[in-house]
Amino acid sequence: MNHKTLVYAIAILFYACTPTNSFDKKHIDKATENSVLAQESFRRSLDFTKAWLEKADPESGLIPSNLKAKVDVWDPANAAADNYPFMVLTAYLLDEDLYNGVLLDILNQEKKLTSRLGVLPDVYSFSKKDFKEYPVNMGHVIFGASEYIKDGLIPLNELIGKSPWQNRMMEILEELNHYTEDFNALEKFFTRASSVEEINGEMLQILSRVFWMTADDKYLNWAISIADHYLLEKDLSQMEYLRLRDHGCEIIGGLSELYLSLHQRDHPKADLYRQPLHALLDKILLYGRNEDGLFYNAINLKDLEVVDDRIADTWGYILNAYYTVWLVDQKETYHQAVIEPFNALYSKYRNYNWEPRKDLSPLGSHDGYADAIESGINLYNREKNSDLGRWIDSEIKVMMGMQQENGIIEGWHGDGNFARTALMYALWKTQGARVSPWNENIRIGASSIDGKTYFVISSQKEWKGKLIFDPIRHKTILHLPIDYPRINQFPEWFTVDPNLNYKISSSHKSIAGNYSGNELLQGIPLRLREGEMVKILLVE
């Protein structure tokens, strides 16, 4: 331990032990612990971002899809959908110059170089300085566009809202609307049926959210046209191959999102969809789970057989759907399905190999951990189960340990999922609050109980900036009627209502007092001395 670190540690201990009557020591200690966990997650995400930017093609500025097999291409379904967006989110939270600089430049270059059918992107080759494939493969273009929106631009929109990336999301969606004939004939482009379910499931999720965001019925009607096919024209509960992990499970989440939207609108389709949707969900519960309530990778619902008995790392993606339908119909079987795996996760699924890879350690790929932990965080946000919380805290350490010293994780587009989950974990530990500007010397952590939220902010060096709180994003950005659990969202923890007033008690007297919600959302100016810790208690 060097001298500065020792001074910092002593100062933190001094401030933590200083008696302050208005603060609960237990929760101050918890917030302090969480500040360390959040800081590591933030730092690792920024290390990842900077490491991948070093791998960018020097002429186009775009990052490759893979550092081994696809070094020469930017792929909308991979680099754009899974890696680049979480570099953007990292910079949005931690590095404003990077966010408004290089990462915005990549967006502009992506639009300029990869737009092929109108604004629809396609795979771009750095060496050819042209599209990789001729002639145009419409199936690949649709798949890439749907992946880019759902896996990449949707999470950006959920956290940031209005931005150039929201504009890109909307222009791609509008362009896709011109290709409805190709959407109705996706089977001719793909040999795997699950790819068709994946695209249609992604579109259902996109359209359901954009409908609420824009209040434009054309998006709802488009989603209904897809759901009619799956719930009224065919019997999903008789599917011979239903993939319950990602790249197939999207259809289940998409149907649940649309179902809730229709219910909220008192739309007659909700009543028509209820029975076939319940039949599908009921059958999956009977034949698609192991004894711990976790889902198999794939099942045959017609012959009632398990096709792939590995456990899906994306178990929470499916449970999001059950929770969503439970919110509509209050069918307790679905709520029990959600909470059933929590105890088993901590007792049986620590250090679990979610995605086996022969070229990696016995723990498998970090991507399996990223998806499994994301599954847990999203559900913990709704169900504060202590075993689930302990499992998340345990497994995030395993995932963090998979990052290389240079910041790269495994060197493929799935590296972005590492940052996605790390940021999601960090925002849980800060209860959605953040500081600006951020640097690796500053730490913020939080702990909430009984309507009180404690924050602890400390800095190893002198710091001046703002403490910013999280808005009610599902209302302010998406205008959703209810914050149902959904794939690719960033959960809300402590959120500030602009119409309410709040009281801050603090060891830093300059910020103690009463504030409007708008003031908290704009950010509270704060200055810290070297080694100082600030304690804050925030209540309505």
Mean pLDDT to the nearest integer, 94-123: 98
- pLDDT at residue number 137: 95
User: Rounded distance, CA 203 to CA 207, Å?
Assistant: 6
User: Rounded distance, CA 241 to CA 84, Å?
Assistant: 32
For the chain, the residue count is 540
Q: What is the pLDDT of residues 31-86, one digit of tens each?
A: 999 999 999 999 999 999 999 999 999 999 999 999 998 899 999 999 999 999 99
Neighbours of 332 (CB within 10 A): 9
- pLDDT at residue number 4: 47
- pLDDT at residue number 123: 98
User: Rounded distance, CA 456 to CA 538, Å?
Assistant: 11
Mean pLDDT to the nearest integer, 219-231: 97
- pLDDT at residue number 5: 47
> Nearest Cα to 287, choosing from 307, 269, 272?
307
> Nearest Cα to 375, choosing from 288, 476, 253?
253
- pLDDT at residue number 10: 42
Q: What is the pLDDT of residues 299-323, one digit of tens each?
A: 999 999 999 999 999 999 999 999 9
Burial state string for 107-121 with b = 16 or more CB within 10 A and e = fewer than 16? bebbbebbbbbebbb
> Nearest Cα to 42, choosing from 386, 443, 368, 389?
443
Query: Before 135, cis peptide (omega within 30)?
Result: yes
Amino acid in position 38: A
- pLDDT at residue number 12: 45
Is pLDDT at 383 greater than 60 in this prediction?
yes
- The token duo for 270 is 């909700």
- pLDDT at residue number 22: 66
Pairing relation of β-strands 124-125 and 130-131?
antiparallel
Contacts of 228 (CB under 8 A, 6+ apart): 269
Cross-strand partners of 120: 117
Residues 420, 451 contacting (CB under 8 angstroms): no
Task: Please give the DSSP secondary-structure letter assigned to residue 539.
Answer: E
Percentage of the chain with pLDDT > 70? 96
- The token duo for 57 is 């093609």
Mean pLDDT to the nearest integer, 125-141: 96
Q: What is the pLDDT of residues 252-295, one digit of tens each?
A: 999 999 999 999 999 999 999 999 999 999 999 999 999 999 99
Q: What is the pLDDT of residues 195-204, one digit of tens each?
A: 999 999 999 9
Is pLDDT at 483 greater than 90 in this prediction?
yes
Q: What is the pLDDT of residues 8-23, one digit of tens each?
A: 444 444 444 444 456 8
Segment among 30-44, 120-134, 174-188, 402-416 with least mean pLDDT: 174-188
Contacts of 82 (CB under 8 A, 6+ apart): 147, 151, 152, 413, 414, 416, 417
pLDDT band at 359; cut points 50, 70, 90: confident
Percentage of the chain with pLDDT > 90? 91
